[in-house]
């Protein structure tokens, strides 16, 4: 419509008849430049492609899949110098192969070939080019970051068969060429020298599938399905135009900055992941059959669509620009795409020849193209600019606070993990809040303060407090390594002194001990007059002799705290790597030397570290430390291995003390001997020192983030002072919680820890000590001591563990939702999700490939897990049963219940009377039988229900019940009427044609008129003596909302009850009287169990002509079998209905109008009754297919039937 009148253009295709029809339509239209003619040709025919390309200056093609239909046409245009424009979205392989094959040829001939000129990728390419241009011209800055976001709330459109065919083509190609997956994901695949790495590909995948928050966009975002294509085009534009060579580009879908935006982002991310998996696994033919080629949105749909995209770009100086592209009344994928492709072709024709040829992008024609698109209502604009000074300062403060918060999280990782195990639901909510904290500096400060309070005050103090009256008079304690002042050892020593214990301390030198006593303020502490250097076993032996000689009394407790944190490749005097040789072997040898002095039931505290969780493997094949090497990595690996050995030592000293004692040869005969001593390990985190004089520079910098002295010492104090039975054989974590030392329960988190490792360590330790005593040089472990292990197997274990835990978490989440388990407490599946999410993150030394795979596995399932958690939270919020608050039971509150002979009424009467309420139980049968049954079921006979005969169809019985309750209320002014429960009901089953009118009348008189009769009789009494919030409860059924075959009479009566209760609730609202209808489904009650007898009775009453019409006795037999199977599968325990009724009756607040009972009533049946009538009737027809087949087989006998025909004798 906007082309110049001098333009000559034609349409082309394979079928001449179809082309003529379109041509006639175009000629009839009043266009400035009408269609000049038609060109017939097949895109799969090379000669036809050359003929088409030679007949024009520009070819615009919309026929896909382009990897099949466009290859020859592009090659012909490049060869003949004809410009080419298409709307492909097949960046890999089509566009990439086109660049590789035709780039140089097109430059030589001057052909301008422009791919992706539709909704993919014109808006993204032009928005990025506009933002870069504004930054350069108005602010003099080069763009360093650009994010284009699609607005899902302002976008709508359809899909066609061609799009599906293109997607199927791409999937088929990638399925056949799996090595191309990396290129398909890489955003730089269309650049001159693409060099994708697994790191860059992983980042692109995370951006595509994970939700996030962007401060510049001001909201949460999720992946955009066409981002992989658009990002490649934008990256190529930057390479061609050279306007922002270092710019990072991402494309997302913005969902908003509120909690709703986060939920939408999670839902879309989960749907995108599941949809990608379904597309990758679905058969290609099935995908192609969804929308055949040539089919697409209608004209009305194309004119009713809309779309909006936004761009945010940041310059080198901090300036920020924001812009948008908006189009109304046009489908993005079809009408907008058509406009964009046509205008791009016109822009290519009118472009300057100096631009030259080649494989270009829409951004090469950005200025002219944006002007042309604006004529069609597609507007590009910049609506916000900022110099960036204030934002830079805010961003700088935010980054500083983010670094502080990240450092805090890293330093306190062990406490966070321990708190997560202690209160997973709390940590789940805290993690959700941390997402919002990134938005502002104040929120991050609040998170940091709350985290410190939770880790230092709330968590530990709520678990265990130091006993105030602890008396250790006469006990001898030996504490080692006090000069290091780590893990709160000084605070423990002060607690021991205050408890009147005789404390001896040991250090590497006597002078260091005396200095520590004077500096740290430790009065009444004895310094052992001998140095203790764990890196020298001779020093350990000498110290043991001096200590044993100076002490006549037995040793009551030994605290093994001395260690060598980072040896940096150093060795002990015996030639062993210093972390293992001192931290483990030195402590084990000291324990062996002092074990004869330890009193029976003495206590041994092994001070470990939470760093044991980061031990990659337990390798004892290199005791010299040559494989570890120096540097941080080698030192840290050696240290974590030594701390893991500490845990093995504590476990073995508890379960098999003979392996560590000095008299092992005498005790090894009894393999099952248990230690009489209390051996406990401590795995606390990073604790601030009492004095900074002992800290190195890195420890001083991390000191403000570390745990306080008092809080950090609490795990160690509990290990030393708590009752022996509480801590024996346990490891005390950072939250002061005793954990089992069975390694298969996850104490070591990532690594598979087992008894074999501990036994290997015992063998190696025993041999090393024996060699030292015999004066032999230490050697490497023998083949019998160390098992050969494949180190690569560990990495597969990481990925496998991630996958298994995620699957288990997802299955547990679904099971908890379906079964409604633990709805009032922490969800049982949250522990799985907790461990699965932090599993690959707490291990920084894992191989890069395994870490990446594990992170991707967790990231892919995290949105699904969070969505499941959110759905479960909604179920808790909107489920009446889980949020009800019961009033205090009292014998002055009366509850009237009808139909108490059996079923729900009987169970409810017994339960309420057991809770202390005055229950008036109306029975259709003999009340004595009910009293006897209630006496057997009741836990106490002090407050049995007051039973009496009551037929709800009798005015006299109902009046008598009212008089009985009124007389009871008159005895005491404090008595009140709380609720009237209409539970009496009658069920009749069978075909409606078989029922007599008297049967139907009986059913209506009990189920509907009985409810009305009882309610109207008690309403005056409720107004007069009702409680604060009196209520009328009607036990109806989900059958009142559905039409069930063979139960039509029952359904009709329950329909009437529902309408009656709904209207009554509105009418009584002014009096403050509530009306609630409880809607159970099939439950195991006598009424349901008598269904089969009701079938026989109804069938027997039917006239012979009716029975013959349905097929006679074989029909009723099959019907009973089907009904028995159906009801048997769906019958539930009536106790859950009773529990719901108790909540409705005793609720402190007014209950809702309708309370469905059970997952089937709340969700399955609710879904069925809301289906369109056509779908619902089809489902019912499928269910009743056997009934239809049986009726068709039966002969039809046209015999008239009389109403209320007598049953045959």
Lookup: tokens for 1138: 């009773």
Regarding whether 621 and 526 lie in a shared domain, the answer is yes
Regarding whether 395 and 374 lie in a shared domain, the answer is no
- What DSSP state is assigned to residue 580? I
- In angstroms, the CA 331 to CA 124 distance is 16
Residue 1186 lies in a domain: no
Q: Which stretches of 312-458 are DSSP H helices?
A: 335-349, 366-374, 389-411, 413-422, 424-437, 441-453
Cβ-Cβ contacts under 8 Å for 914 (sequence gap 6 or more): 938, 939, 940, 943
Report the b/e string of 626-660 with b at 16+ CB within 10 A: eebeeeeebbbbbbbbbbbbbbbbbbbbbbbbbbb
pLDDT at 750 exceeding the cut of 50: no
Residue with tokens 């089919």, as numbered in its chain: 295
Domain extent at residue 871: 793-879
Residue 369: its pLDDT value, please? Answer: 94
Residue 575: its pLDDT value, please? Answer: 79
Residue 1209: its pLDDT value, please? Answer: 34
Residue 407 lies in a domain: yes
pLDDT at 233 exceeding the cut of 90: yes
Cβ-Cβ contacts under 8 Å for 396 (sequence gap 6 or more): none
Regarding whether 854 and 920 lie in a shared domain, the answer is no
Residue with tokens 């459109």, as numbered in its chain: 157
Residue 767 lies in a domain: yes
Classify residue 372 as exposed, middle or buried by CB count within 10 Å of its CB (0-12, 13-18, 19+). Answer: buried
Task: For the sheet with 525-527, list strands across it.
Answer: 525-527, 502-506, 476-480, 555-560, 598-607, 678-682, 730-732, 738-740
Q: What is the largest CA-CA distance in the chain?
A: 118
Residue 803: its pLDDT value, please? Answer: 54
Cis peptide before 619 (omega within 30 of 0): no
- In angstroms, the CA 1127 to CA 424 distance is 40
Q: Please write the tens of the pLDDT for every residue from 236-265.
A: 999 999 988 889 999 999 988 777 787 888
Lookup: tokens for 111: 């052909």
Regarding whether 893 and 871 lie in a shared domain, the answer is no
Q: Between the ranges 664-673, 879-888, 1151-1160, 1172-1181, where is the mean pLDDT highest?
A: 1151-1160
Q: Please write the tens of the pLDDT for every residue from 301-315.
A: 788 889 999 999 999
- In angstroms, the CA 87 to CA 61 distance is 7
- In angstroms, the CA 690 to CA 164 distance is 68
Residue 1188 lies in a domain: no
Of 735, 767, 787, the position where a domain reaches its end is 787
Regarding whether 436 and 411 lie in a shared domain, the answer is yes
The answer to whether 618 and 751 have CB atoms below 8 angstroms apart is yes
Going by C-alpha positions, the residue among 975, 904, 917, 983 that lies closest to residue 945 is: 917
Candidate from 19-33, 84-98, 793-807, 985-999 with smallest mean pLDDT: 793-807
Q: What is the DSSP string of 72-112?
A: HHHHHHHHHT-EEEE----IIIIIHHHHHHHHHHHHHHT-E
Q: Give residue 517's Cα distance to chain centre.
A: 52
CATH number reported for the structural domain that contains residue 607 in this entry? 3.40.50.720
Phi, psi (rounded to 5 degrees) for 177: -130, 80
The answer to whether 345 and 287 have CB atoms below 8 angstroms apart is no
- Position with higher pLDDT, 366 vs 692: 366
- In angstroms, the CA 230 to CA 222 distance is 16
Regarding whether 1018 and 919 lie in a shared domain, the answer is yes
Of 732, 759, 787, the position where a domain reaches its end is 787
Regarding whether 858 and 999 lie in a shared domain, the answer is no
Distances in Å between the Cα of 412 and the Cα atoms of 150, 417, 419, 692, 708 are: 38, 9, 11, 19, 11
Lookup: tokens for 645: 């050995």
Candidate from 132-136, 241-245, 450-454, 868-872 with smallest mean pLDDT: 868-872
pLDDT at 335 exceeding the cut of 60: yes
- In angstroms, the CA 558 to CA 603 distance is 6
3-state secondary structure of 1112: coil
- In angstroms, the CA 460 to CA 454 distance is 8
Q: How far apart are the first and last CA of the chain?
A: 88
* Helix H or strand E segment including 312: strand 306-315
What integer is the mean pLDDT of 934-945? 71
Q: What is the domain count for the chain? A: 5
**Angle (deg, nearest 10), helices 71-80 and 46-54:** 40
What integer is the mean pLDDT of 769-788? 58
Classify residue 559 as exposed, middle or buried by CB count within 10 Å of its CB (0-12, 13-18, 19+). Answer: buried
Lookup: tokens for 766: 């025993």
The chain-wide mean pLDDT, for the chain, equals 76
The answer to whether 43 and 79 have CB atoms below 8 angstroms apart is no
Q: Please write the tens of the pLDDT for every residue from 824-880.
A: 333 444 434 443 443 333 333 333 444 444 445 555 555 555 555 555 445 444 444
pLDDT at 363 exceeding the cut of 90: yes
- In angstroms, the CA 630 to CA 648 distance is 25
Residue 74: its pLDDT value, please? Answer: 95
Q: 218 pLDDT band (50/70/90 cuts)?
A: confident
Regarding whether 599 and 511 lie in a shared domain, the answer is yes
Q: Please write the tens of the pLDDT for every residue from 185-200.
A: 888 889 888 777 767 7
Residue with tokens 């230690």, as numbered in its chain: 675
Name the percent of the chain lying above pLDDT 90: 21
Residue 1115 lies in a domain: no
Pick the catalytic residue: 249, 564, 924, 1050?
1050
- In angstroms, the CA 85 to CA 349 distance is 11
The answer to whether 640 and 594 have CB atoms below 8 angstroms apart is no
Residue 967 lies in a domain: yes
- In angstroms, the CA 126 to CA 114 distance is 14
Q: Annotated catalytic, 1050?
A: yes
The answer to whether 180 and 288 have CB atoms below 8 angstroms apart is no
Residue 88 lies in a domain: no
Regarding whether 697 and 586 lie in a shared domain, the answer is yes
The answer to whether 71 and 42 have CB atoms below 8 angstroms apart is no
Lookup: tokens for 725: 């039975």
The beta-carbon contacts of 18-27 under 8 Å, at least 24 apart in sequence, are: none
- Position with higher pLDDT, 650 vs 48: 48
Regarding whether 445 and 556 lie in a shared domain, the answer is no
Residue 887: its pLDDT value, please? Answer: 65
What integer is the mean pLDDT of 566-575? 73
Residue with tokens 């209608």, as numbered in its chain: 298
Residue 848: its pLDDT value, please? Answer: 40
Q: Please write the tens of the pLDDT for every residue from 1037-1077.
A: 888 887 777 788 888 998 999 999 999 999 998 888 999 99
pLDDT at 1084 exceeding the cut of 70: no
Lookup: tokens for 119: 């909704």
Regarding whether 658 and 721 lie in a shared domain, the answer is yes
Of 852, 879, 906, the position where a domain reaches its end is 879
Residue 1114: its pLDDT value, please? Answer: 75
- In angstroms, the CA 117 to CA 408 distance is 49
pLDDT at 766 exceeding the cut of 50: yes
What integer is the mean pLDDT of 292-303? 69
Residue with tokens 């409720």, as numbered in its chain: 1022
Torsion angle of alpha carbons 678, 683, 689, 695, nearest 10°?
Answer: 120
Regarding whether 1008 and 910 lie in a shared domain, the answer is yes
The answer to whether 279 and 113 have CB atoms below 8 angstroms apart is no
Residue 43 lies in a domain: no
- In angstroms, the CA 439 to CA 456 distance is 26
Q: Give residue 341's Cα distance to chain centre.
A: 42
How many Cβ atoms sit within 10 Å of the Cβ of residue 1067? 10
- In angstroms, the CA 683 to CA 32 distance is 83
- In angstroms, the CA 965 to CA 984 distance is 18
The answer to whether 890 and 973 have CB atoms below 8 angstroms apart is no
What integer is the mean pLDDT of 466-473? 76
Residue 847: its pLDDT value, please? Answer: 37
- Position with higher pLDDT, 308 vs 352: 308
pLDDT at 7 exceeding the cut of 70: yes
Residue 104: its pLDDT value, please? Answer: 93
The answer to whether 1134 and 1140 have CB atoms below 8 angstroms apart is no
pLDDT at 324 exceeding the cut of 90: yes
Three-state secondary structure of 449-477: HHHHHHHHHHHHHHHCCCCCCCCCCCCEE
Lookup: tokens for 90: 């097949």
507 — alpha (psi -120 to 50), left (phi > 0) or beta?
beta
Q: Give residue 96's Cα distance to chain centre.
A: 37
Count of residues making up the chain: 1209
Lookup: tokens for 23: 């041509």
* Strands 893-897 and 976-982, sheet pairing: parallel
- Position with higher pLDDT, 152 vs 620: 152
Report the b/e string of 399-415 with b at 16+ CB within 10 A: eebeeebeebeebbbbb
The answer to whether 699 and 691 have CB atoms below 8 angstroms apart is no
- In angstroms, the CA 968 to CA 701 distance is 77
């Amino acid at each position: 419509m906007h082309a110049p009148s001098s333009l000559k253009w034609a349409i082309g295709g394979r079928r001449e008849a179809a082309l003529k029809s379109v041509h006639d339509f175009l000629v009839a239209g009043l266009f400035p430049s009408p269609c000049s003619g038609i060109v017939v040709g097949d895109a799969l025919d090379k000669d036809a492609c050359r003929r088409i390309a030679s007949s024009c200056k520009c070819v615009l093609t919309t026929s896909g899949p382009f990897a099949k239909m466009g290859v020859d046409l592009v090659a012909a245009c490049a060869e003949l110098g004809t410009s080419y424009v298409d709307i492909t979205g097949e960046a890999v392989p089509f566009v990439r192969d086109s660049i590789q094959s035709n780039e140089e040829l097109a430059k030589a001939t001057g052909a301008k070939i422009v791919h992706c000129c539709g909704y993919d990728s014109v808006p993204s390419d032009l928005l990025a080019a506009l933002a870069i241009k504004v930054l350069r011209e108005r602010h003099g800055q080069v763009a360093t970051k650009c994010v284009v976001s699609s607005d899902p709330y302002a976008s709508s459109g359809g899909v066609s068969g061609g799009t599906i065919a293109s997607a199927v083509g791409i999937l088929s190609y990638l399925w056949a060429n799996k090595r191309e997956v990396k290129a398909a994901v890489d955003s730089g695949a269309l650049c001159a020298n693409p060099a994708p790495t697994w790191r860059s590909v992983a980042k692109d995948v995370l951006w595509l599938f994970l939700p996030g928050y962007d401060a510049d966009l001001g909201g949460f975002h999720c992946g955009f399905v066409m981002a992989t294509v658009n990002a490649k085009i934008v990256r190529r534009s930057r390479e061609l135009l050279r306007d922002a060579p270092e710019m990072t580009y991402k494309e997302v879908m913005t969902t908003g900055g509120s909690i709703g935006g986060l939920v939408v982002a999670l839902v879309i991310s989960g749907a995108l992941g599941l949809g990608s998996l379904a597309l990758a696994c679905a058969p290609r033919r099935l995908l192609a059959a969804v929308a055949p080629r040539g089919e697409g949105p209608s004209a009305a749909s194309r004119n009713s669509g809309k779309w909006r995209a936004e761009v945010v770009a940041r310059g080198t100086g901090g300036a920020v620009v924001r812009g948008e592209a908006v189009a109304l009344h046009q489908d993005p994928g079809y009408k907008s795409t058509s406009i964009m492709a046509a205008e791009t072709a016109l822009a290519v024709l009118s472009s300057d020849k100096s631009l030259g040829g080649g494989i270009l992008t829409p951004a090469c024609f950005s200025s002219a193209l944006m002007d042309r698109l604006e004529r069609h209502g597609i507007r590009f604009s910049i609506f916000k600019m900022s110099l960036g000074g204030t934002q830079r300062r805010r961003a700088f403060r935010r980054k500083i606070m983010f670094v502080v918060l990240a450092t805090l999280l890293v330093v306190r990782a062990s406490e966070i993990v321990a708190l997560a195990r202690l209160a997973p639901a709390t940590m789940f909510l805290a993690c959700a809040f941390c997402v919002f904290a990134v938005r502002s500096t104040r929120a991050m400060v609040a998170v940091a303060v709350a985290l410190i309070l939770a880790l230092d005050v709330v968590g530990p103090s709520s678990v265990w407090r130091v006993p105030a009256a602890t008396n250790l008079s006469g006990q001898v304690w030996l504490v080692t390594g006090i000069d290091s002042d780590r893990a709160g050892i000084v605070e423990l020593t002060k607690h021991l002194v205050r408890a009147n214990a005789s404390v001896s301390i040991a250090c590497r030198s006597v002078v260091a001990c005396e200095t520590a006593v004077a500096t740290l303020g430790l009065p009444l502490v004895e310094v052992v007059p001998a140095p203790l250097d764990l890196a020298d076993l001779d020093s350990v032996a000498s110290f043991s002799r001096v200590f044993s000689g100076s002490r006549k009394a037995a040793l009551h407790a030994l605290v093994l705290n001395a260690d060598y944190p980072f040896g940096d490749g150093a060795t002990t005097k015996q030639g062993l790597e210093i972390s293992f040789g001192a931290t483990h072997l030195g402590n084990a040898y000291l324990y062996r030397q002092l074990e004869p002095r330890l009193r029976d039931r003495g206590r041994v505290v092994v001070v470990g570290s939470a760093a044991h969780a980061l031990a990659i493997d337990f390798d004892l094949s290199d005791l010299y430390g040559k494989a570890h090497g120096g540097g941080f990595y080698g030192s840290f690996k050696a240290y974590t291995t030594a701390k893991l050995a500490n845990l093995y030592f504590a476990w073995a000293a508890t379960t098999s003390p003979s392996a560590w004692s000095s008299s092992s040869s005498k005790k090894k005969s009894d393999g099952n001997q248990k230690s009489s001593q209390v051996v406990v390990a401590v795995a606390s985190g990073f604790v601030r020192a009492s004095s900074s004089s002992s800290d190195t520079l890195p420890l001083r910098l991390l000191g403000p983030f570390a745990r306080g002295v008092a809080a950090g010492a609490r795990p160690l104090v509990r290990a030393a002072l708590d009752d022996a039975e509480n801590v024996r054989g346990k490891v005390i974590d950072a939250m002061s919680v005793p954990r089992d030392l069975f390694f298969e329960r996850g104490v070591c988190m990532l690594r598979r820890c087992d008894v074999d490792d501990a036994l290997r360590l015992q063998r190696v330790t025993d041999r090393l000590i024996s060699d030292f005593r015999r004066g032999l040089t230490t050697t490497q472990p023998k083949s019998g001591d160390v098992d050969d292990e494949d180190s690569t197997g560990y990495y597969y274990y990481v990925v496998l563990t991630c996958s298994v835990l995620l699957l288990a978490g997802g299955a547990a989440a679904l099971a908890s939702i379906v079964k409604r388990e633990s709805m009032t407490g922490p969800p049982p599946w949250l522990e799985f999700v907790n461990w699965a999410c932090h599993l690959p993150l707490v291990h920084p030394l894992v191989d890069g490939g395994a870490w990446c795979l594990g992170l991707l596995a967790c990231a892919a399932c995290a949105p699904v897990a969070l969505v499941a958690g959110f759905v479960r939270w909604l179920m808790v919020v909107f489920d009446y049963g889980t949020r009800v608050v019961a009033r205090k039971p009292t014998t002055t509150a009366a509850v009237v219940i009808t139909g108490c002979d059996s079923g729900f009424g009987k169970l409810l009467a017994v339960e309420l009377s057991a809770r202390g309420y005055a229950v008036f139980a109306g029975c259709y049968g003999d009340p004595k039988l009910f009293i006897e049954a209630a006496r057997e079921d009741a836990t106490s006979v002090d407050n049995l229900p007051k039973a009496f005969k009551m037929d709800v169809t009798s005015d006299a019985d109902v009046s008598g019940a009212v008089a009985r309750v009124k007389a009871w209320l008159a005895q005491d002014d404090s008595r009140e009427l709380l609720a009237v429960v209409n539970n009496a009901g009658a069920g009749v089953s069978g075909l409606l044609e078989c029922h007599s009118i008297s049967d139907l009348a009986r059913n209506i008189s009990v189920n509907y008129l009985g409810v009305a009769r009882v309610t109207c009789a008690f309403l005056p009494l409720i107004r007069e003596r009702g409680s604060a919030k009196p209520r009328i409860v009607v036990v109806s059924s989900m059958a009142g909302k559905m039409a069930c075959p063979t139960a039509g009479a029952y359904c009709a009566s329950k329909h009437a009850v529902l309408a009656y209760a709904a209207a009554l609730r509105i009418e009584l609202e002014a009096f403050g009287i509530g009306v609630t209808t409880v809607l159970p489904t099939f439950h195991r009650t006598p009424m349901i169990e008598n269904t089969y007898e009701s079938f026989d009775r109804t069938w027997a009453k039917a006239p012979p002509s009716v029975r013959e019409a349905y097929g006679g006795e074989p029909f009723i037999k099959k019907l009973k079998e089907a009904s028995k199977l159906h009801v048997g599968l769906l019958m539930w325990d009536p106790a859950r209905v009773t529990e719901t009724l108790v909540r409705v009756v005793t609720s402190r607040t007014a209950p809702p109008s309708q309370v469905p009972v059970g997952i089937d009533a709340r969700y399955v049946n609710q879904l069925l009754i809301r289906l369109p009538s056509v779908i619902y009737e089809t489902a019912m027809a499928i269910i009743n297919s056997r009934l239809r087949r049986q009726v068709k087989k039966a002969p039809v006998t046209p015999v008239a039937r009389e109403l209320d025909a007598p049953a045959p004798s």
